[in-house]
Structure formats: C-alpha cells, structure tokens
Structure 1
Amino acid sequence: MLKILGKSTSINVRKVLWTCEELGLEYQQEDYGSGFAPTDTPDFLALNPNGLVPVLIDEGFVLWESNTICRYLVGKAGRDDLLSSTPRGRARVEKWMDWQATELNSAWRYAFNALVRKNPVYNLQSEIDASIADWNRCITILDNKLQHSGMWVTGQTFTLADIVLGLSVNRWKMTPIDRPAVPAVDAWFARLGQRPAFRRHGDNGTP
C-alpha cells in the first residue's frame, strides 16, 4: 500500500491526497510536519533532505515534491485524462502545474505568511501590499484562461492542473484580502465543489 507522510492540513499534502482519491487508490497517511511528527530527524531527512512534506513511499520507492508525486501516481495508474501521454497534451497540463509551483506560489508567500500564519518576520506593509497585488494579478491570469478554456483549466477535461490550482485558489479565497471580481474562476471553483475528492481534500476549511 502507498504511504504518504505529511499532515493532512498541508496544502501540498492535500494535492496528493486529492489525486489519490480521484484515482481510487488505497493509501496510508501519517501526520508529519508542524504539530506532528518532526521532519528534521535523520530518518526523515534520509527520505527528503529538504525536511518537507509530502513524501511518498511506494514499495520502497521514495519520492518528494508534491506536483511530481501527483504526476507519478497518475502515470502509474495510466490515467491519460488527468495527464495526457502525448507530448503536447502533457505540456498543456504541466505548464499550469509549473506555473502554480513558481509564479503563483511566489506571489502569495509574503502576504500569506503575514496575514494567515502571523509570522512576525513578514511585517512590512509595503511588501504585504505588493504580494497581494501580485497574487491578485496571478488569479486574474487564471480567470482569463478559464474564460477561453471552458469547463476546466486546459479545456473540457478535468486534469492535474485543476487539482493543484484548485488548492491554490482555495487558499486565495480564504485569506483576508481584497480580491478582484473573477467570475470564471468562481464558476470553475463551484464546479470543483461538485467533486467528492475536492470536498474532502480541497475545500476543507484549511488554507
């Protein structure tokens, strides 16, 4: 059975849990991270030298980086609907997954640490304001994409791009900031809400 190390409130762990649910996979999840089992022990660092969650263990095969874990699980399950096996189809999905992990994550980091995590290091109002502006800019990019793509991020088929971005938008919606009108994002987020796996792991009340 698959083993997933990481607390279920972590946004990156929830990506993996949601993917497992969509695939109908059985797994054993163990809570690691702040407030749970430590990630700075020699045993854990031997699995992931970054000391971060999630970590996937599949019959002795160890993998970290949440988006990579999701790709691995979908590829192993042969679910071309979630991640195409054609070079162009795969690239359309991975482009948005990589954007989520780079541009979007970089945009929210300062504001989220200041406003939600209440980290005293993040206390410059100018930086908070800049982070919020960049975060909203990124969500507007997603809104423009959804206006043209239709049902889902890359078209008429639900994919891994919707999973990783769905969690990011959940975080954006739950953070106490002023947000622009994004009707296409709102409609897409409502469609996500119809999926049982999203209700369990995506929109579960934890930013």
Structure 2
Amino acid sequence: MSLTIHGIAASRAIRPLWAATELGLDFTHRPTPYQGGGTRSPDFLALNPNGHIPVVVDARPEGEVVVWESMACALYIARHHGAADGQSITPATPKEDADALRWSFWAVTECEADALTVLMHRLAMPAERRKPELAEAAERRLAVPLRVIEQHLAAQQAAGQAHLAAGRFTIADLCVAAVLNWARPAHDLMQAHPLTHDWIVRCMARPAQHAAKALGH
C-alpha cells in the first residue's frame, strides 16, 4: 500500500499529517498550498472537486481510495493504517471509535468556525485588519462548548484518565485539539477552562505534532 497526503501543514492538512506521523507511517507528502491556484488545477480537481486541501490518496491492493475533508482523512488514516491494539492512536473498541467520531464531529460543528475567528482576529492577521469585536463574540459562543469538554475532562480526570476518549492519546484527542488549539489566543477563555487548556497544551507538545508541523516548510 502507498499513502499520499496532499496539503501543507499550515492548514487543516495538519490533521492527517499528524495522524500519519503519530503512527510512524511511510507516506508521501505533496505540499500543495491552498493559495496560488494549485488546488484548482485539473489534476487536483480530479481528486477533490471542491478544490480544497487536504486530500489523502491510499493506493490499496483492491483499488485506490481517495479521501477529502480533514477530519475524515485523519480518522481514515487512524482506522485503516493503525493497529487497534490499545496502544496506538487507533480506536481499539467500538466505544473508542464512537468517541473519536462524536468528538471530532462536535469539534467541527460546535467549535471550528469560532475558534478560527479567534485565531485570525487575535493573532494571525495583521493588527490593522483585526476586528476585536468579532473575536469577542466568537469567544462568548465558544464558552458554551468549552464547558462541555471541560466537564468531560474533569470526569475523565476523576476516573484516572488524562485524555479525551481513553487512557491514552488517541485520534479523538488529535482531531479535537487541532481545532481547539486555534482558540488559545483567547486567554480569558482558556483561563476559565483550565483542564481544557492544559489538555490542548499537552496534545500540541507531542513530538509527532511538531514533526508534522515542520513538513512542507
């Protein structure tokens, strides 16, 4: 089998790149940027007609599999390229698989848009283009889902577990931390949810995350 990941680390492509790196996979990275027209070429649009990164192409004995949407890419890699041995990021039980799915979809539907707004208007954009009022409104909305994950992490901690879905770091942690990390510039919000903040920091400190982040730079 041969795995190819299209996209740059400074994008949502970090999710499948991180997953593949956590698993120690031998994969091909094609650092396709989202700017400059590369995702609008005929060859790329044949892979993803939406014209977005990332795209994962998995050349398997039974035929080529193409996956797009960053969470789908990361979850696919964990499920089909990792060992369900209770040690890797791959879900080892139906419960772990369900947790990975629900928390990943939760991050996209409940958090991602507002977390990106915080990142852009607190940190990423030039100061003269930032609109603090947009960041403040996003932070108010994020307080609702962050209460949910804060309570969940407190319950996990009480049960002796330091991670989101198991007693170890799994694809659930990877997918959700990759989204919530965008909200870290909201310092007051992070202070109000200390377990969540500490968990994000631990996830982002993983060697595989740093290695994946360096790809394509």
TM-score by length of 1: 0.81
**CA shift digits 1:153-188 (9 cap, x unpaired):** 123122111101222232222x36543422212332
**CA shift digits 1:33-67 (9 cap, x unpaired):** 24466212222111111111100111232211111
Alignment-derived partner of residue 79 in structure 1:
83
- Are residues 1:184 and 2:176 paired? no
Determine the C-alpha separation between the residues in 2 that align with 1:105 and 1:25.
27
CA RMSD of aligned residues (A): 2.8
Query: After TM superposition, what 4+ stretches of structure 1 lie above 6 angstroms from structure 2?
Result: none
Confirm or deny: 8 A CA contact 1:136 1:180 kept in the other structure. no
Flag the 1:201–1:127 CA change in 2: closer, same or farther, 3 A.
Answer: same
Letter in 1 for 2:20: C
Flag the 1:65–1:193 CA change in 2: closer, same or farther, 3 A.
Answer: closer
Alignment-derived partner of residue 4 in structure 1:
5
- Are residues 1:40 and 2:51 paired? no
Alignment-derived partner of residue 13 in structure 1:
13
Determine the C-alpha separation between the residues in 1 that align with 2:125 and 2:200.
27
Unpaired runs of at least 5, structure 2: none
Letter in 2 for 1:9: A
Confirm or deny: 8 A CA contact 1:132 1:177 kept in the other structure. no
Alignment-derived partner of residue 99 in structure 2:
92
Between the aligned residues of both structures, percent identity stands at: 26
Unpaired runs of at least 5, structure 1: none
- Are residues 1:169 and 2:180 paired? yes
Flag the 1:166–1:123 CA change in 2: closer, same or farther, 3 A.
Answer: closer
Task: For residue 57 of structure 1, give the secondary structure of its aligned residue in structure 2.
Answer: strand
TM-score by length of 2: 0.78
Alignment-derived partner of residue 143 in structure 1:
150
Determine the C-alpha separation between the residues in 2 that align with 1:183 and 1:132.
15
Flag the 1:23–1:54 CA change in 2: closer, same or farther, 3 A.
Answer: same
Confirm or deny: 8 A CA contact 1:31 1:37 kept in the other structure. no
Confirm or deny: 8 A CA contact 2:118 2:138 kept in the other structure. yes
Confirm or deny: 8 A CA contact 1:7 1:33 kept in the other structure. yes
Letter in 2 for 1:195: R
Confirm or deny: 8 A CA contact 1:4 1:27 kept in the other structure. yes
Letter in 1 for 2:13: V
Q: Kindly tell me the number of residue pairs found equivalent between the two proteins.
A: 200
